[in-house]
Structure 1
Amino acid sequence: MGELPKFVQMANRVRDRILSGDLRPGDEVPSERALATEWGVARPTAARALQELRSLGLVESRQGSGSYVREGTANVYRRAKDRYARSASAGRVYAEGEWARIVAAKRAQAPGHVAKALGVDEGSTVGRRQRILGDGSGPTEISTSWFPIDIVEVAPNLMSRNRIREGSLAYIESCTGRRGQVARDQLSARMASAAERRELYLDNPSAVLVVLHVVVDRKNQPLEVVDAVYPPAGRWFLDQEYPLGS
C-alpha cells in the first residue's frame, strides 16, 4: 500500500490528538499557516487537511478566528490504541477530564464468547473487572475486562476495585514480563439492555456499539479480553488490528 496523501497524514495527526484528549472541545487547532510550516507543504494542502477534519465532524471554523475542536467530540470512542499510547508516554491511561468507576473486580465464569477469545473452556474461572467510564458530559462507556486465571494469580490488583493508573495492560506487562503485541477489535451493534440503559443514561429503546477487544502477546497468547459498550451518540473512529510494540 502506498503512502497516504500528505493532507490525509496531516488530518490524521490532528485527529489523533483530538481522540487522545490532547485537544479538547473548544481548543483551537493549528492554523493553515502553522500546519504548512510544520509539514513543509503549501497552504492549499494544509487547507485540505482542515477541510478533511471538518468533514469528519471534528473541527469547526469560526469566521475571522480560526478552527476549533467541535463540542461533542468528548463522546467519541476513545480507541484503545490512544489509551495505550497515553499510558506509555504519561503513565496514565485516561485523558484529562475522563473518569472511571470500578464496579466489579472478582473471579467469574467465562461466558462462551470470552472463553473462545481467551482459549479456555466455557465456564472456566477467569478474572473479571468492570468499569463505567465517562467525562464532563456523563458516562460514555461500559468496559468489562476478562483475564486468564494465571495472570490474575500474579497481578492481584486486577481483582481490586481501586483504579490502576497506568491501565490494566501496562500493569499486566509489569507483573508478567509479557508484552502486548497485537490488538484486535470486533465490532457489532445491538439494542441496549436495561442495565446498560441505566448506566449510560439512554432512552428505551436505544442501540449501542459493542467492541470485543482482544490483546495477545508475541506467542499469540491472550493477555486481556475487553467487552466495551458505547452509547449511540458521537462518531466512531476504529482500528481493527494494530501492533502494540516492536
Structure 2
Amino acid sequence: MAENDDVVPKYLQISGHIRALIERGELAPGAEVPSERELAARWKVARPTAAKALNTLRQQGIVRSRRGSGTYVAERPALLRESAPRYGTPAPESRSVTVLCAAVVEGPREVTDALVLPVSSSVIVRKTLWVGISGSVELTTCWYPGGFAGTAALLLESEVVPGGVARYLEAATGRAATVVRESAGARLATEDECRHLTLRHPAAVLVVRRTCSDAHGVPLEYRETVHPPGGWTMSHEYSASSAADFRR
C-alpha cells in the first residue's frame, strides 16, 4: 500500500490505479474497464465511490462510457496538443527568470481545493516573472503542499531550481507528475499583475491554470500563469471524427 493511501480519498486511489494500468499498457485503448459493481467489491467501497472514480477518469478523457454496454479505455489521442506542457522544464537561454516570492502561506480556498487539502492549510507559493529577449513576458504563481517544505526545501529559495521543479520534486519526494490538467480563461489583471507585466490598468489577460498530479491522482502542484494581451495563443489539433461541433 502506498504511504499516502491513508490521506488520499478512496476514489482517487481507484482512479489512479486504473490510470496506471492504462499507462503501463495493461489496459489497451478500447479495453473494457471494471464496472462500478466490480470496483466496489474489489476495493470494498460503496457504489457511489466507485462511480466517482470512473467519473474522474471520464472527465480526464481517459475512459468513455457506452450506454448499455460499459466503460472503455478511450481511443487516444482524440485530442493532440501542439506542444507538451512546459511543466518544470528549464528556462530557455533566451528567457530570464526572476523569483519574486518563495514562502509558506495560508492557502487560498481555490488553491487548497486544487491540491485536495483541508481549508486554510499551509502551502508553498512561488511567484516568478519570465521575460524573453523579444519582449514577451509572463507571470507564473505555483503552489505546493506545505508538507514539501521539509523534503523539497529548494522551493523556498528565491533562486531558480536547477534542472527544473519537476525533476527536483521527483528526486526529493519520489513522486513524479503523470497527469496534467489545464484550463484557460480571460479576466481583468490585478494591480500587482499590471505592475509586473507593465500593463495599464484595467487590462485583460489570459490565465492558464494547471494542476499536476502523481500516479495516485494526488496533486503535486497547482499553478496559474498570466499572459498579457497578444502574448500567447493556444492551438489544438484533433480528429474531425471525434469533434461533435465539426459534424453539426
Which ranges of structure 1 fall in alignment gaps of 5 or more residues?
Answer: 17-78, 88-92, 240-246
Aligned residues: 161
2-structure distance, mates of 1:129, 1:141: 14
Structure 2 CA distance for aligned equivalents of residues 133 and 221 of structure 1: 28
Aligned partners of 2:209 and 2:173: how far apart in 1?
A: 23
Pair 1:104–1:82, CA change in 2 (3 A): closer
User: Deviations for 1:104-146, whole angstroms, at most 9, x for unmatched residues?
Assistant: 1110011011010011122211111111111113361111111
- Which among 121, 125, 147 is matched to residue 122 of structure 2? 125
Q: CA RMSD for the aligned pairs? A: 2.3
Higher helix share: 1
- Aligned residue for 1:232? 229
TM-score (norm 2): 0.59
Offset at residue 97 of structure 1 (A): 0.7
8 Å contact 2:107–2:122 — kept in the other structure?
Answer: yes
Amino acid at match of 2:200: D
CA distance in 1 between partners of 2:181 and 2:77 (Å)? 23
| Runs of at least 4 residues off by over 3 Å | 1-4
Instruction: Find out whether 1:96 has 2:93 as its counterpart.
Output: yes
* % same residue: 29
In structure 2, the residue matched to 1:161 is: 158
Contact in 1 for aligned 2:189/2:205 (Cα 8 Å): yes
1:51-90 alignment, distance < 5 Å: 81-82=85-86, 84=88, 87=89
**1:147/1:190 Cα in 2 relative to 1: closer, same or farther (>3 Å)?**
same
- Supply the distance in 1 between the matched residues of 2:183 and 2:77 (Cα, whole angstroms): 26
What is aligned with 2:209?
212
Assess if the C-alpha contact under 8 Å between 1:187 and 1:210 holds in 2. Answer: yes
In 2, Cα distance between equivalents of 1:210 and 1:188: 5
Matched, 1:115 2:112: yes
The aligned counterpart of 2:196 is 199
For 2:152 and 2:97, locate their aligned partners in 1 and report how far apart those are by CA, in whole Å.
Answer: 20
> For residues 203 and 167 of structure 1, what CA distance do their matches in structure 2 show?
32
CA deviations 1:73-113 (Å, max 9, x no partner) are xxxxxx6x2455xx4xxxxx111211110011110011011
SS in 1 for 2:149: helix
- CA distance in 2 between counterparts of 1:165 and 1:206 reads 34
Task: Give the match's secondary structure for 1:205.
Answer: coil
Partner of 1:209: helix, strand, or coil? strand
Distance 1:227 1:235, change over 3 A: closer
